[in-house]
Structure 1
């Protein structure tokens, strides 16, 4: 490591505010303490976590997936913003670490940092693999990297679980737009100020459009560089750096899939810019690795994300919040920015801990499968459904090198999850 480098261990948790006597928060504290130990390294820490003093040109962070990640000063400023720091108290996998998989206690903070690095890796690969005549302007590259960093800044407590709690009335991507506006309104670094103010704020406009994956949100036309919309939130074929990071990160902690089953990095590292600059093209010989990616995603849904007990805990949690604290459902970064800052996993659990059914969230062994009782029913799409028609992918190279994919019957159709549980 260079002598001049400063290492900021952003993953460490700050002290919790809630009384140790609150039993529902006990499991959450244990998860956060484990997370803090996993990320904290006193020998490397040079700046207090949460400090807003920007005295370093760059910093480095040790990440479980990417190793050491360099953070330039303008990225440091974003990661030290209170809205971004809030993500340390939002579990990536919702209630899963409290209910079934205690080791999978990583946070949206870590995933966002990792997605930033994944965007850098793909941009570098595109530059390396392409013979494209138009160089991506520096402000565009920074916008892509920042969009990757901030793509999940609008997530509610327990991540996607909160959208279930709000019964579809909350959208974390739309909420991220308001969070991005707040981060940039507070910006001091010259690089961030330029993205906000130069050319009628074209940088911030691009960042928000990239997060939404919606070119129509731009106030201008991306003539030669429309391909960047395939990087952060790819609405055309679904291959983006968000998936690339969360599949690797989630499986690292869940340990569901082998290295061979996760062998799809080359999909992104071998990609290139299409000759017209409108799309990202993938190699024909990596076609089967695209299939591996969607198969991995399906397996994680079946064996972790949508385990029946997890789904029941989500239902119980949602019912309690709607019953005990319905006002929380209306909190977002646009309407109540200060209240939004305080809305995290810990605070919501604190506010519902006295509900009679909250006991099942802290003692899931009291939830047992049965022949009747509480029904959990979900549909999980098959990987053959998730991997869209060949027409949405752009390929390059030798078509004869493409391997055919032979789908088993259960991979072409949805899996129906249907279980009964009793609460002891």
Structure 2
């Protein structure tokens, strides 16, 4: 079966993958927006986790098949390897919740204090559930390897095989961050938002090869590889972490938290048989409910609809020399810094968003963990120091931005002033 995708063209689904796609659990991904609430600022950003998952499936197949064409005998790549890599690409986001990362990073920590929960781990549970529920005939070894590949980027995850470790880096690369998941969402998200994309992922796909069980890249493509990380950081800065988008996300998390007792949303995250029923339509469920238990939550959702948002007050970029020991700013910190002549602020009047934007490796240069090769006749891999390539590359690889919002319009000035007082007290300067 083939599907016409607006990024990659015709995507051909193999029989095993199609068995997963044709389930109500996988079709649920159509009702999860890839970029959460970004569509409230970028109207075109209404694409779903469904099409992204198909895109990653396709690129995973392109990557492994290319390696098989040029190094198949040397690497002993077989059909089993191709099937597992493609299936891990298809199912890597199977466990995302309503409005994607907002649910995982905003709602879950609020209502499930101390719970270590991730959409990757939920993807594994969803896969197990769907295999059992729909009696999908999959080899136990394939099932096991697909699950390992989905969480391959998480630290401390063991792999059952000590051979062909490069296969684990195609979809979720924990070694250096270059993977087909990023290839797809960078191009797809840029196109949907209408902001253009200068990262040519095809060049990276075409020039990669395996040396010593590691995916390596041609040295002359150093700046192309750098562009992957730079483009991703730009998307975070201009789209994913847009000040208005964050304001709406903060309101949604508050609304979902208020609705949790009535709707028992948090109880769904432990059981895949219930979890798959959660999707973005929960917003409409709250908005159209007549239940008195949901009044507070409903009022907040309607504020989002009417663009009566939490008011952005100001933001501050943490100085580079303070990043290492930075402690997240809280609403309490803002309230404690207020001027007594202003209206009295309460913690519940203020929201703080501590936004970290980096090149995938925190304060470190991600290219330092990437291996390169000189040309296709060479079997030697090596690292490249960025100062040998260009002096225009950044000297710092992470931004930490503190943003402050007021929940009530009439308190904007008081919150802004308190935030400036905190900046002066903490860093000796203000924005």
TM-score range, shorter chain: 0.7 to 0.9
2:215 and 2:46 map into 1 onto residues whose CA distance is 33
Q: How far apart are residue 208 of structure 1 and its match?
A: 0.3
User: Post-superposition shift, 1:141?
Assistant: 1.5
Selected match of 1:172 from 101, 105, 119: 119
* Matching residue of 1:345: 280
Q: Give the superposition deviation at 1:216.
A: 4.9
1:381 aligns with 2:349: no
Report whether the alignment pairs 1:406 with 2:391: yes
> Is 1:91 aligned to residue 33 of structure 2?
yes
The Cα RMSD (Å) is 2.7
State the alpha-carbon separation in 2 of the partners of residues 406 and 346 from structure 1: 49
2:185 aligns to what? Answer: 246
Match of 1:209 in 2: 148
- Measured after TM superposition, the shift of residue 397 of structure 1 is 1.8
The answer to whether the Cα contact below 8 Å between 1:262 and 1:293 also exists between their aligned partners in 2 is yes
SS at the partner of 2:187?
Answer: helix
What's 1:193 paired with?
137
Task: Map 1:24-423 to 2 at 5 A.
Answer: 59-97=1-39, 99-130=40-71, 133-163=74-104, 164-167=106-109, 169=115, 170-187=117-134, 193-195=137-139, 201-213=140-152, 216-218=157-159, 220-223=160-163, 225-258=164-197, 261-274=198-211, 276=212, 278-326=213-261, 327-332=264-269, 335-351=270-286, 354=295, 355=297, 356-364=299-307, 368-370=311-313, 374-383=350-359, 388-398=365-375, 404-407=389-392, 412-421=397-406, 423=408
In 2: Cα distance, 1:109 partner to 1:236 partner: 26
Q: Does the aligned pair in 2 maintain the 1:157–1:343 contact within 8 Å?
A: yes
Alpha carbons of structure 1 residues 423 and 134: separation in structure 2 relative to 1, 3 Å: same
1:378·1:418 contact (CA, 8 Å) conserved in 2?
yes
Report the TM-score, using the length of structure 2 for normalisation.
Answer: 0.74
- Per-residue deviation, 1:93: 0.5
Q: TM-score, normalised by structure 1?
A: 0.75
Residues in 2 aligned to 1:144 and 1:423: alpha-carbon distance in whole angstroms: 49
| Change over 3 Å in CA distance of 1:95–1:385 after alignment to 2 | same
User: Which one has the largest radius of gyration?
Assistant: 2
- Indicate conservation of the 8 Å contact 2:365/2:397, yes or no: no
User: Whose relative contact order is higher, 1 or 2, with alpha carbons under 8 Å and at least 6 apart?
Assistant: 1
Residues 232-257 of structure 1: CA distance to partner in whole angstroms, max 9, x if unpaired? 11111011111111111101101223
Structure 2 gap ranges (5+): 289-294, 315-344, 376-381, 410-431
